[in-house]
């Protein structure tokens, strides 16, 4: 079932992308992937969702280095 809000849909897509990339994803690549997935989304909405993902889900997402987003469940694994 798809989340009812635009933000919810974007957040779900971010988690889907991060799940497929255990090494993490760069900020710009994440923005590009979401834009490719749904070009009708306003760029500022997408940017805001990516910017806030760590603040909104600190138990699930972190930044191992500047500009890289990664799921916490992959933090202890050696890549």
pLDDT tens profile 33-65: 999 999 999 999 999 999 999 999 999 999 999
Contact status, residue 22 vs residue 43, Cβ threshold 8 Å: no
Give the predicted TM-score (pTM) of the model.
0.87
Is CATH 3.60.15.10 the right assignment for the domain spanning 6-74? Answer: no
Domain boundaries, the chain: 6-74
Give the closest residue to 73 by CA, choosing from 34, 29, 18, 35: 18
CB atoms within 10 A of CB 59: 6
Q: What 3-state DSSP class applies to 42?
A: coil
Residue 78 burial by Cβ neighbours in a 10 Å radius (0-12, 13-18, 19+): exposed
Instruction: Give pLDDT tens digits for 16-29.
Output: 999 999 999 999 99
């Amino acid at each position: 079932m798809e989340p009812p809000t635009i933000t919810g849909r974007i957040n779900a897509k971010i988690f889907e992308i991060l799940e497929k990339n255990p090494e993490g994803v760069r900020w710009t690549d994440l923005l590009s992937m979401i834009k490719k997935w749904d070009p009708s989304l306003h760029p500022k909405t997408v940017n805001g969702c990516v910017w806030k993902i760590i603040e909104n889900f600190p138990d699930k997402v972190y930044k191992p280095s500047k500009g890289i987003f990664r799921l916490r469940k992959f933090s202890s694994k050696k890549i």
